[in-house]
Chains A and B, each alone.
Chain A
Amino acid sequence: MEDMKLSRSAMIAITVLRVVVGWHFLYEGIAKLTSASWSAAGYMKASRGPFATFFHWIASQPHLLDQANLITMYGLTIVGVLLILGLFTRVAALGGLGLVMLFYLCNPPLVGYFYSIPSEGSYLIVNKNLVEVCALAVILLTRSGLFAGLDRIVRVLVFQRAQPARTAAA
């Protein structure tokens, strides 16, 4: 795999983007973990998009709801830490992208659907969730962690360990 041939300043910008998105994820995750009684039920029960039935169903099954809550809380936190550190960036970005995509699909601001989870701003098809999905895609595809992140160290270490085997094989 080749590094993307982006200019240094572009890569710095993407690193900043990665850290900022990671920070956001981390705080969202930690806030839910430390709050007394957070549950995704409210958000899911409010679903009015094309997948509403699915989310309603999950919200009404306590067992599934618990799992969804755990995945959300820990998923956000872990993805956040990994993104800030630039460790396993692609996995983290992919995971974060999937999570936020789910949030988006749960309550998409599509024409014809109205709901009122108290939210600020005016959105039409594109809302913050979708923007964050795209930001994660950029982070994913530019492999930001390799530029400035722990991935860089990991990759070197992994390569070092891989090398002796290859020279031996060769």
Chain B
Amino acid sequence: MGSDDRPKKIDRRDVLKGLSTLPALGLFGYAWQKQRAYQQTKVEEAAAAAQAPADLQVINIALLGAGAQGQVLTDSMLRIPGLRFRAVCDIWTEYNQKRVVNSLKRFKHEPNAYEDYREMLDKEKELDAVIVATPDFWHERHAVDCLKAGKHVYCEKEMSNTLEGARRMVAAQRQTGKLLQIGHQRRSNPRYLHCYNKLLKEAQLLGRIITVYGQWNRGVTPDLGAPDRYAIPQARLTQYGFKDMHQFRNWRWYRGKGGGPIVDLGSHQIDVYSWFLGANPSQVMASGGNLYYDPKTHEWYDTVMAVYDYDTPLGPAKASYSTQTTNGSQGYFENFMGDQGTLLISESEVNYAGQLYRDPNAPAWDEWVQKGYVTAPKEQATKATSDSGAVADVRESVAPDQHTVPVTLRDPYHQPHLQNFFDAVRGTATLNCPADEAYRTAVAVLRVNDAIESRAPLAFTPADFEV
């Protein structure tokens, strides 16, 4: 046989060597258990986070105005934890009101439906806040009455279709001490906040902003209509200030109801002008006209071009704004142009989401790139160096480096601003667009229509912007 004929007993060496790899199994078991536990806690954490945390104070809210904008706000609010819809109020009971109530019921909210907002304020005992998304000419009544009934109010922009109305809203807010946030949602947009706080205030990347250009261009659209079968009876339309169904659906174009595109579209961006420039305008001149649509159904200007003068802390500046509803070329954006750089930004996450250009003569932005305030430039300008160390090749003009804003909004556009409002209701934040701040924008915007009429520059005094 072989050399292993001798009977062999197990000795300690054998046992030791034999079991030497057993601990590996033990280690495996331990590692595996840890991983399972980790996965389990992640799943549990996610499940727990999905429900509103127990200590998050639930805010009872009512939606006043269930039209297009009200629905957009509701979509956002359904994603914010800790809210309970108690009521939906809209005069179009046959259509919009019913649709929104049904969509809320899907999410276990049990809102009561109202046509008359006063009845809602009377009957709803557990209401903390009201979201107002009714036509501009109703904003004052709705907001003031809700504030006086002890509710916090989030009111869509424009504050009102008249400055007197807007002033009364500010007064009511001061008198009642409740919160009144106006819906200029860019004030809470993380990209805009980043640009304002980090790029303009802290880094002063653009140097001194001297000119601003902004626009909102939109193509031709037919008037809004309504399904025949859901038409509102004329009596009800009259009761709430509408001449007919067409005016009910297209109130924005009518005098006394809305302010036309300069207010619908422009007010957001002109608000950003004042915000970023850190000043109110000293003058506005504007030209506008009803160039295209039927003046019988479009009483306001479908095309407006306005130029503002500002005395900013860093020096004078001019800002032009243009809006048209006959062609959508290049959509909407704001372009801030300073002596050291340019900021091109819009609310859209896709178009003009935030591009910055450094003027070639400006100091390098390396420090800010490293801090993460702006991304590294897309194309490095080729720097030609000669042997003597001289810097630039003067024959070629150097293209400016393009940086982008490294902030993305992941949620629907109105969500951060609504979240800010509800945080303020809970006392954990301050409003980003309180009424007195929004009033200044209302002045700058509503007066454009006056400027168009008067065909002359309209001067502002600082007192104009204070209530």
Which residues of chain B are near A81, meaning CB under 8 Å? 25
Is the pair A148, B28 in contact by a Cβ cutoff of 8 Å?
Answer: no
Chain B residue with Cβ nearest A81: B25
Does B371 make an interface contact (CB < 8 A)? Answer: no
A151 to B14, CA, bound (A): 10
Contacting B at CB under 8 A, from A111-153, are 147-153
Which residues of chain B are near A159, meaning CB under 8 Å? 4, 7-8
Which residues of chain B are near A30, meaning CB under 8 Å? 32
Does A27 make an interface contact (CB < 8 A)? Answer: yes
Given A26-B28, A85-B25, A163–B7 Cβ distance below 8 Å?
A: yes
Is the pair B24, A19 in contact by a Cβ cutoff of 8 Å?
Answer: yes
Fill in one digit per residue for A64-101: 1 if any B CB lies within 8 Å of its CB, else 0: 00000000000000000100111000000000000000
Contacting A at CB under 8 A, from B27-54, are 28, 32
Using a Cβ cutoff of 8 Å, how many contacts connect chains A and B? 59
Interface residues on A, range: 20 to 34
Does A103 make an interface contact (CB < 8 A)? Answer: no
Does B17 make an interface contact (CB < 8 A)? Answer: yes
A151 to B20, CA, bound (A): 11
Q: Is the interface of B mostly helix, strand, loop or mixed?
A: helix
A23 to B23, CA, bound (A): 12
A142 CB to closest chain B CB (Å) equals 15
Does A13 make an interface contact (CB < 8 A)? Answer: no
Which residues of chain A are near B19, meaning CB under 8 Å? 150, 153
Is the pair B18, A149 in contact by a Cβ cutoff of 8 Å?
Answer: yes
A81 to B25, CA, bound (A): 7
Is the pair A152, B14 in contact by a Cβ cutoff of 8 Å?
Answer: yes
Which residues of chain B are near A2, meaning CB under 8 Å? 2
Is the pair B18, A27 in contact by a Cβ cutoff of 8 Å?
Answer: no
Which residues of chain A are near B24, meaning CB under 8 Å? 19, 22-23, 84
Does B9 make an interface contact (CB < 8 A)? Answer: yes
B38 CB to closest chain A CB (Å) equals 14
A163 to B6, CA, bound (A): 8
B43 CB to closest chain A CB (Å) equals 12
A105 to B253, CA, bound (A): 71
B140 CB to closest chain A CB (Å) equals 57
B389 CB to closest chain A CB (Å) equals 44
Is the pair A160, B15 in contact by a Cβ cutoff of 8 Å?
Answer: no
Does B10 make an interface contact (CB < 8 A)? Answer: yes
Does A102 make an interface contact (CB < 8 A)? Answer: no
Given A23-B28, A30-B32, A156–B10 Cβ distance below 8 Å?
A: yes
Partner of A19, one of B7, B18, B21: B21
Partner of B22, one of A23, A85, A166: A85
Which residues of chain A are near B4, meaning CB under 8 Å? 159
Is the pair A152, B17 in contact by a Cβ cutoff of 8 Å?
Answer: yes
Is the pair B10, A85 in contact by a Cβ cutoff of 8 Å?
Answer: no
B295 CB to closest chain A CB (Å) equals 60
Which residues of chain B are near A47, meaning CB under 8 Å? none
Is the pair B21, A152 in contact by a Cβ cutoff of 8 Å?
Answer: no
Is the pair B17, A148 in contact by a Cβ cutoff of 8 Å?
Answer: yes
Is the pair B28, A153 in contact by a Cβ cutoff of 8 Å?
Answer: no
Is the pair A27, B28 in contact by a Cβ cutoff of 8 Å?
Answer: yes
Is the pair A86, B28 in contact by a Cβ cutoff of 8 Å?
Answer: no
A81 CB to closest chain B CB (Å) equals 7
Is the pair B18, A153 in contact by a Cβ cutoff of 8 Å?
Answer: yes
Is the pair A85, B17 in contact by a Cβ cutoff of 8 Å?
Answer: no
A81 to B18, CA, bound (A): 14
Best-buried of B24, B25, B28 by chain A (most CB within 10 Å): B24
Partner of B21, one of A85, A156, A160, A166: A85
B3 CB to closest chain A CB (Å) equals 9
Which residues of chain A are near B17, meaning CB under 8 Å? 147-149, 152
Does A15 make an interface contact (CB < 8 A)? Answer: yes
Chain A residue with Cβ nearest B11: A156
Best-buried of A26, A81, A151 by chain B (most CB within 10 Å): A26
Is the pair B20, A156 in contact by a Cβ cutoff of 8 Å?
Answer: no
Which residues of chain A are near B14, meaning CB under 8 Å? 152-153, 156
Given A19-B24, A148-B17, A148-B20, A156–B8 Cβ distance below 8 Å?
A: yes
Residues of A within 8 A of B (CB): 2, 15, 18-19, 22-23, 26-27, 30, 81, 84-86, 147-153, 156-157, 159-160, 163, 166-167
Q: Considering the complex of A and B, which 9 residue pairs feature the smallest CB-CB distances, nearest first?
A: A153-B18, A152-B18, A163-B7, A148-B20, A19-B24, A148-B17, A156-B10, A84-B24, A84-B25
Query: 6 extra interchain contacts, Cβ-Cβ under 8 A, other than A2-B2, A19-B21?
Result: A18-B21, A22-B24, A27-B28, A149-B20, A166-B5, A167-B7
